[in-house]
Amino acid sequence: MNASVDKDTCIGCGACPSICPEVFKMEDDGLATAYVTPVPSEVEASAQEAAEGCPVDAIHVE
């Protein structure tokens, strides 16, 4: 599974690193990034949960 954050869409709500800190983190620009991709299999479920929990659908997993 690959994960990415669309920086043009992210509003910096901070939910994704809170749900899945193994894959997502906030950067100095106040927006999230997927810093571990491909996503390790043991955290795929939580990465998916983070994607579904993003209020603006800025996270793409495939």
| Cβ nearer to ligand F3S, comparing 9 with 38 | 9
Report the nearest approach of ligand F3S to the CB of residue 62 (Å): 16
For residue 15, give Cα distances in angstroms to 9, 37: 14, 18
Helix boundaries (H) for 1-62: 15-19, 44-53
| Cβ nearer to ligand F3S, comparing 7 with 38 | 7
User: Where along the sequence are the contacts to ligand F3S (CB under 6 A)?
Assistant: 5, 10-16, 32, 54-56, 58-59
Report the nearest approach of ligand F3S to the CB of residue 33 (Å): 9
